[in-house]
Amino acid sequence: MITIRPAQARGAVDIGWLDSQHTFSFGEYYDPDHMGFATLRVINEDKVIPSKGFPTHGHRDMEIITYVLAGALEHKDSLGTGSIIRPGDVQRMSAGTGIRHSEFNASKTEPVHLLQIWILPDQTGIEPSYEQKTFTEAEKSGNLRLVGSRDGRDGSVTIHQNVDLYATALAEGETVSHILAEGRVAWLQVARGEVQLNDQVLAAGDGAAIAQESLLRLQAIVPAEVLLFDMAK
């Protein structure tokens, strides 16, 4: 069963410096029918104007993943970490017992476009930690590249939850497939472009909850970039 979450149905916040689309309930946007899916709690598509961003704020007991689509995001946190996140980078921050951080557009002239993803951890009260890795276009091209996993295998970032996160970049007409094991569910998020997932068509910003499906076949209708979350129920 594939249930589409259309882009236009998402919660929307536009406060001038930030244009944000919320796949699931977040902040002032509340929808009891869309509180998350399995252990996936937040997918926010954010566009931030030059030199603006999120001032220092706190998090606890959450796995926070940042995936930049265009531009550059500057990150600083209470662990003493500072970095610039660019397209191809995947940043994982485990908030654990508590962490404070800020995120700002690193450019004075160009906007930054990103996905911020929150996953519920498999245990609370862990030590806060941070990790960032780069995955090249070649690694994702025509391939479901594992970019996040519970055990950090294949060079992926380590997520403290039973989830495998894949990223792919597909040329027009290109196809990838994924086997969803028994007892697993998946969420597919189209970051850009347009794809066909089995017999369903999804465009940029669309998501899909997937259950009771064994074979997922993904084909790009136009060039596309997609994230796939393979999760325990």
What are the CA-CA distances from residue 136 to residues 52, 77, 145, 227 (Å)? 27, 26, 10, 15
pLDDT in tens, 171-210: 999 999 999 999 999 999 999 999 999 999 999 999 999 9
Domains of the chain with CATH codes: 2-232 (2.60.120.10)
For residue 62, pLDDT beyond 90: yes
Burial (CB count <10 Å: 0-12, 13-18, 19+), residue 57: exposed
pLDDT in tens, 203-230: 999 999 999 999 999 999 999 999 999 9
What is residue 149's predicted lDDT score, i.e. its pLDDT? Answer: 98
More confident residue, 146 or 54: 146
Give SS3 for 228: strand
Q: Mark out the alpha helices in the chain (DSSP H runs).
A: 137-140
pLDDT in tens, 118-160: 999 999 999 999 999 999 999 999 999 999 999 999 999 999 9
User: Which range has the worst mean pLDDT, 2-6, 100-104, 116-120, 169-173?
Assistant: 100-104
Q: How confident is residue 78, by pLDDT bands cut at 50, 70 and 90? A: confident
Question: How high is the mean pLDDT of the chain?
Answer: 95
Global confidence as pTM: 0.96
Whole-number Å distance between alpha carbons of 220 and 8: 20
Q: How confident is residue 53, by pLDDT bands cut at 50, 70 and 90? A: confident
More confident residue, 146 or 76: 146
More confident residue, 16 or 81: 16
For residue 59, pLDDT beyond 80: yes
Amino acid at 136: T
Percentage of residues of the chain with pLDDT beyond 70 = 100
Whole-number Å distance between alpha carbons of 145 and 216: 15
Q: How confident is residue 80, by pLDDT bands cut at 50, 70 and 90? A: confident
Distance of alpha carbon 135 from its chain centroid, rounded? 14
Closest CA to 24 of 165, 149, 39, 16: 39
What is residue 189's predicted lDDT score, i.e. its pLDDT? Answer: 98
Q: Is 9 in contact with 27 (CB distance < 8 Å)?
A: no
Give the number of other Cβ atoms within 10 Å of residue 29's Cβ.
16
Whole-number Å distance between alpha carbons of 25 and 199: 28
Distance of alpha carbon 39 from its chain centroid, rounded? 13
Mean pLDDT of 42-60: 90
